[in-house]
Amino acid sequence: MIGMWQGLVRGARVVLPVVLVGAIVQGLLVVGDPTPHVDWVFALRVVVSGLVMIVVVWLIVGGAATAVDADAGLSIPSIRLLIGVTSAVVGGALAGVLSPILPIVVAVAGLPVLSALAVRPWTAPIRMVMVSPFRTLLGFVLVATLFIVIWVTALLLGFFIAGPVAAMLTWVVFGFSTAIAATYWAALHRRSLAQDKPEAGASTRTV
């Protein structure tokens, strides 16, 4: 069974280019220091930024699920996962209108569900909590810490650097933090799946 750190190494071939390309695009979108106002150009930048974020998270979470599976090779993540990521990103954006803290809550709660969609649908989060309650709690703390670091990093970079460079660095931190968290959850889901197999075999022998 592949653990988180080994999974990160295996998934680097997907994560590195995805994160870097995504960060460059996000940086280019803030060239000219656009300010929020009613304008089709600004609206287009916002839409493109959201789409880039969805694709980046989709590929990272899907790549993490593949990286912790010894029998899996490179493949395009499922449409089911894409729909889940799109829902989470839109939900996080709407939550951010109410409070700047709420997107972090959405990310912390949504990432294990997205990893479950990539690894094993629907029942994986429940099974994960039953099999590894301590590791599940640790995962929530880890993800919350990572996204708080992203939030603080964005504030500091915006204060000291600003512009496209700050945007690129912020999205690099976001991408790698997401990769760490997604790989942790994927490995934990895979662990619970592995523990299900002996039980299934025992049940078959009993019958």
Residue-wise DSSP of 75-136: -PPPHHHHHHHHHHHHHHHHHHHH-TTHHHHHHHHHHHHHHHHHHSTTTHHHHHHHH-HHHH
Low-confidence residues of the chain, pLDDT below 50?
198-207
Query: What does the alpha-carbon distance between residue 43 and residue 132 come to, in Å, rounded to a whole number?
Result: 44
Query: What does the alpha-carbon distance between residue 184 and residue 179 come to, in Å, rounded to a whole number?
Result: 8
Which candidate, 152, 150, 146, 158, places its Cα nearest to that of 184? 146
**Residue 181 contacts residue 111 (beta carbons within 8 Å):** yes
pLDDT of res. 18: 96
**Residue 103 contacts residue 95 (beta carbons within 8 Å):** yes
pLDDT of res. 68: 87
**Residue 13 contacts residue 68 (beta carbons within 8 Å):** no
Query: What does the alpha-carbon distance between residue 6 and residue 66 come to, in Å, rounded to a whole number?
Result: 12
pTM attached to this predicted model:
0.84
Residue 132 has a CB neighbour count (10 Å cut-off) of 17
The Cβ-side half-sphere exposure at 47, using a 13 Å CA radius, reads 6
pLDDT of res. 50: 93
Q: Two tokens at 55?
A: 């694709």
Q: Treating both helix axes as pointing N-terminal to C-terminal, what angle do 163-206 and 133-160 enclose, rounded to 10 degrees?
A: 170
pLDDT of res. 152: 82
- C-alpha 13, offset from chain centre: 16
Cβ-count burial of 112 within 10 angstroms (0-12 exposed, 13-18 middle, 19+ buried)?
A: buried
